[in-house]
Amino acid sequence: MCSTGTLTVLAALSLTACGRAPDPGPGVLIVSAASSLTTVIEPLVQAFERDTGIAVELNLAASSTLASQVLAGAPVDVFISADHIQMDRVAAAGLLRPATRTVLLSNQLVVVAPLEPPVLPATSPDVLASFERIAIADPVAVPAGVYTRAYLESVGLWRRLEDKLVPTRSVRAALVTVESGAVDAGLVYRTDALSSNKVTQVYAVPVADGPEIVYPVAVTAASADPAASERLLAYLSGAGASAAFESAGFIMPKARR
């Protein structure tokens, strides 16, 4: 959010349009966060600004896009990824402050379908075989898609469903595709399903059976204001933020990396 108090959300949803992270000028923290955090991170950042007087600008996109921006030298203070893979890319380049890295949140995969025609809840992932077109996030570059492929392979469904899968540029894009009725179903995060009144949850992948879905966070080595950045991290890890994250459907990690 800029100094006027108006939240600026950069919806960089395309994998190919990596674009450039914002450059709002001095005195503004730039937070690059996975797009699946959109609905909950915006009000939390607004509250942080009100409480601290520190201006924040959000840059929301697929984690792979955000990591590429940091690697390209974009001015980013805090990076929140939807998996360790993208955070590790940045860490390997020496672009993080290692002591600040921790796991902020966890999530869960669910199968969703449009409200019409009605689909009954299922007790097995085999329900996916009954759909003709299934939206997923890109299974190569986007964390939600990588998690989805890993899960489908683990239950022997990837090859059976491969021809039915419709890759999208982010998990939010997969949700929108389901909402529009362009596909019969989709695999998204639990938090995405809860944020929408246009889809119904058909099946929830048990946390114990699915991939470990984590959101690591860290201050970048190039942060223009490390102290303010760490203050934001502490705020997002606090009791108030944790309650907001849980209300949105996120799972609080038992241990921090």
Judgement on whether residues 193 and 115 belong to the same structural domain of the protein: yes
Does 218 fall in a domain?
A: yes
Residues 20 and 102 in one domain: yes
In a domain, 1, yes or no: no
Same domain for 90 and 43: yes
- Same domain assignment for residues 21 and 69: yes
Assign residue 91 a region (left: φ > 0; alpha: ψ between -120 and 50; beta: otherwise).
alpha
Task: Specify whether 140 is located in the same domain as 98.
Answer: no
Q: For residue 70, is it within any domain?
A: yes
- pLDDT number for residue 214: 96
User: Is residue 191 in some structural domain?
Assistant: yes
Q: Which two tokens stand for residue 119?
A: 């689909």
3-state secondary structure of 209: coil
Q: Based on the fold, state whether residues 133 and 191 are members of the same structural domain.
A: yes
137 in the same domain as 79: no
Helix then strand count (H, E) for the chain reads 9, 11
Q: What is the pLDDT of residue 49?
A: 98
CATH at residue 223: 3.40.190.10
pLDDT for the residue numbered 26: 59
Residue 191: which of 174, 208, 167, 209 has the closest Cα? 174
Residues 187, 222 within the same domain? no
Asked whether residue 242 falls in the same domain as residue 180, the answer is no
Would residue 94 count as lying in a domain? yes
Number of folded domains that form the chain: 2
Residues 192 and 134 in one domain: yes
Residue 227 placed within a domain: yes
Let me know whether 51 and 114 are in one domain.
no
pTM exceeds 0.85: no
Q: What is the pLDDT of residues 97-153, one digit of tens each?
A: 999 999 999 999 999 999 999 999 999 999 999 999 999 999 998 999 999 999 999
All residue ranges of the chain with pLDDT < 70 are 1-26, 255-257
45, two tokens: 């950042």
- Strand, coil or helix: 73: coil
SS3 47: helix
Within-domain flag for 25: yes
- Please indicate, yes or no, whether residues 116 and 199 belong to a single structural domain of this protein: yes
Question: The domain containing residue 128 runs over which residues?
Answer: 109-204
In-domain check, residue 4: no
